[in-house]
Structure 1
Amino acid sequence: MEGLQIEAYRDGMVALDFEYTVLAANAAACELLAGESAEVVLPCELESFVLPVTPEYEWLQEMVRERKCLRNHVVRVLRSGKERTVLADSYFLRGREGETAGLVVFLKEIGNLVSLERQVQHHEKLATVGKIAAGVAHEIRNPLTSIKGFLQMMRHELERNGMGKEHSYTTVMLSEIERINGLVGELLLLSKPRELKMEALEMEELITVIAPLISSESILHNIEFALDLQPVPAVYADREMLKQVLWNLVKNAIEAMAETDGGKLKIESSYQEREGLVRVDIRDTGPGIPHYMLDRIFDTFFTTKETGTGLGLPICQRLVNDLGGKIQVTSKGFGTTVSVLLPGLVERNQP
């Protein structure tokens, strides 16, 4: 099309006539709609440009058929197994005599904005839960302390009087009280950042300290445990907080494999020199996480376990964020890898 300088447009741009012919498209539009590997010769039929079975073909065809312009229309395009969010705007294309000759569509990828919005919503939800927790924790823990005290007295009396059956009931009740206390404690971790005792930590030393505990728990669940720790720079973190994060993630992995009667657990450490990040991978051979659930695993109270609270991963994420790091989770139908990434302390050469 003469006079249509579409390659100068940074985002995607495609022009169509009302006969479903793609008249012109820039490289960004071809990559978004046709795919990176597609070889497109323009002009061409719409179905040669975009596969007819795709949602993007349907909305392009509908737009041309009904001759309508779109404003801020959000489209999700699936390419190479990855969903990309695109904002589409379209305008009428005028011919030389001013007649309506077709449509020109502008495509702007907004994946980063959508991701940022989700993160903001997620943190707002955590903050709300935390405020509620902080407000009710005191009111819950005070009566629990009284109940626990009287139960312990009752337990002693029942044991002294030889009432073994009733004594066993108090054991269950005290256990449930501890579980409630633990839940309240987890909620409080979401309420506000705790006071950090930051220091330079050697990741290998930290993991080695908790390794016997992990090994014991693994043996109980018929799980094979292994370490593969590479030399990495120290990290600047709170020792107890980082130990809690690693232990929580290991417990999740063990619980996942317990459902399949054993498996393999491996902890690896490495250094991503380009990004300056120390990486700890916790790999399990459990049933994995379905791809449609991966986006929700850090949501508060979301859980796939019958007895889960849905607070473990959100808390780990919160704690790692407080340390200036991030958590990544990958799962491909069998097994899951949870990665903790923290900035490494690297000495820079002085000029």
Structure 2
Amino acid sequence: MSCLALAAIACVGVAFWITRNVQADVSTIQGRLKDLEVDLNQPRRGSVSSAELDGILSGIDVLGVSLQQKIETERQLIEQLHHKERLAALGQVAAGVAHELRNPLATIRLRAQMSLRSKDPEQLDQSAKLTLEEIDRLSGVLDRLLYFAKPIQLQVKRFDPAQMCEDLLAALRPEAESASIELVCNDSDSADLFGDALKLRQVMENLVRNAMESFEGTRDLQKRILVSITSTPTNVRITVKDNGAGLPNNISAKAFDPFFTTKARGTGLGLSIANEMVRAHQGTLTLKSAPGGGTVADLLLPRFAEHPREPIASERSGASV
């Protein structure tokens, strides 16, 4: 019996020793995993007693190195992608600038050549006027390009969007009436919001002017633009709806791209700038075709934007796409 007791005690002792070593080895492996969670480059601390567990620990080390390499490769790929995106954006801007500057410069050159060849005072006067118009056009393009040079600085205060709508339509009504366009503002469900009233008025003016220009070339049509304002406890929605030519789907997807325009003398910057102003207010601006014809511009703004964004800049009014 004494021999059996000693054997049992020995077995218990061996089991305890093995368990203790295994627990220590497992703790070492767990510690290594925690180190890798913090830093994949963390050197190994401690060792294990068995070759099998040491193989596991070595495998973890190899996995850490492999993950570090993959992360570095992914970082480089992301940087390359961002670089290509920046180059593509720069190329788009350069192409747009070149296009917008080439036509006025060609006109100015032509008129200058005509002035050198002609001594007719009337023709010289006409060439001078056209040259000045093209110079003003170039100046307008450069002014709009400056919108992208610095962040928008919002002057946030509480204001009534319904009053903004009424004032804007009153200012545009003589021009609209000369083109037989009816301007209507439905603001019965309006509520105050916090934002930059001047910049949001610039956005609204851009949308209304675009709607007015959508009637060019249309006949036998009762031209009407409806500006509606609705509100909830958290948002204000402003829609500008016209019954003009409408907006094809392939154009609505590009409408906010810089330098994209369907107008013969448009710069393609107005809607892009307007969209950035709306985003600075943490809002959204969308364009879509209206049921039955025409276009709907939908502007959704939070009534209480806590942290306005600061995308591209715009300190001037009257930018029209």
- Bucket of the pairwise TM-score, normalised by the shorter protein: 0.5 to 0.7
1:303 to 254, 261, 277: 261
Q: Which has the higher contact order (CA 8 A, sep 6+)?
A: 2
More strand by share: 1
In 2: Cα distance, 1:126 partner to 1:266 partner: 41
| Equivalent residue, structure 1, for 2:286 | 328
Q: Is the 8 A contact 1:193 1:322 kept in 2?
A: no
2:229 to 266, 269, 278: 269
Q: Deviations over 1:113-164 (max 9, x none)?
A: xxxxxxx99xx6799459968xx9xxx9xxx9xx9xxx9xx9xxxxxxx944
1:199 Cα offset (Å) = 1.2
Q: Is the 8 A contact 1:284 1:335 kept in 2?
A: yes
In 1: Cα distance, 2:288 partner to 2:273 partner: 18
Stretches (4+) displaced over 3 A: 124-133, 162-165
1:296 Cα offset (Å) = 1.7
What does residue range 60-71 of structure 1 map to in structure 2 within 5 Å? none
**Residue correspondences, number:** 203
1:338 to 287, 291, 297: 297
- Does the C-alpha gap of structure 1 residues 215 and 192 become closer, same or farther in structure 2, counting only changes over 3 Å? same
- Does the C-alpha gap of structure 1 residues 317 and 174 become closer, same or farther in structure 2, counting only changes over 3 Å? same
| Equivalent residue, structure 2, for 1:177 | 135
In 2: Cα distance, 1:163 partner to 1:305 partner: 33
| Equivalent residue, structure 2, for 1:239 | 197
TM-score scaled by length of structure 2: 0.55
Provide the identity percentage: 30
Structure 1 position 194 matched with structure 2 position 152: yes
In 2: Cα distance, 1:185 partner to 1:127 partner: 23
Q: Deviations over 1:6-49 (max 9, x none)?
A: xxxxxxxxxxxxxxxxxxxxxxxxxxxxxxxxxxxxxxxxxxxx
Q: Deviations over 1:83-120 (max 9, x none)?
A: xxxxxxxxxxxxxxxxxxxxxxxxxxxxxxxxxxxxx9
In 2: Cα distance, 1:126 partner to 1:237 partner: 34
Secondary structure of the residue aligned to 1:192 is coil
In 2: Cα distance, 1:169 partner to 1:264 partner: 38
In 2: Cα distance, 1:309 partner to 1:204 partner: 30
Structure 1 position 316 matched with structure 2 position 274: yes
What does residue range 21-60 of structure 1 map to in structure 2 within 5 Å? none
In 2: Cα distance, 1:271 partner to 1:224 partner: 24
Q: Is the 8 A contact 1:287 1:333 kept in 2?
A: no
1:204 to 143, 154, 162: 162
In 2: Cα distance, 1:244 partner to 1:126 partner: 30
In 2: Cα distance, 1:230 partner to 1:339 partner: 17
In 2: Cα distance, 1:316 partner to 1:127 partner: 22
In 2: Cα distance, 1:300 partner to 1:292 partner: 16
1:337 Cα offset (Å) = 0.6
Q: CA RMSD in A?
A: 3.5
What does residue range 104-143 of structure 1 map to in structure 2 within 5 Å? 128=89
Larger mean CA deviation between 286-295 and 248-257 belongs to 286-295
Secondary structure of the residue aligned to 1:258 is coil
TM-score scaled by length of structure 1: 0.51
1:253 Cα offset (Å) = 0.6
- Does the C-alpha gap of structure 1 residues 319 and 130 become closer, same or farther in structure 2, counting only changes over 3 Å? farther
- Does the C-alpha gap of structure 1 residues 130 and 241 become closer, same or farther in structure 2, counting only changes over 3 Å? farther
- Does the C-alpha gap of structure 1 residues 126 and 337 become closer, same or farther in structure 2, counting only changes over 3 Å? farther
In 2: Cα distance, 1:130 partner to 1:322 partner: 25
Secondary structure of the residue aligned to 2:259 is coil
In 1: Cα distance, 2:172 partner to 2:239 partner: 15
| Equivalent residue, structure 2, for 1:249 | 207
Report the structure number with the largest CA radius of gyration.
Answer: 2
Q: Is the 8 A contact 2:93 2:259 kept in 1?
A: no
Q: Which amino acid aligns with 1:342?
A: L
More helix by share: 2
In 2: Cα distance, 1:324 partner to 1:127 partner: 26
Structure 1 residues without counterparts, runs of 5 or longer = 1-119, 155-161, 347-351
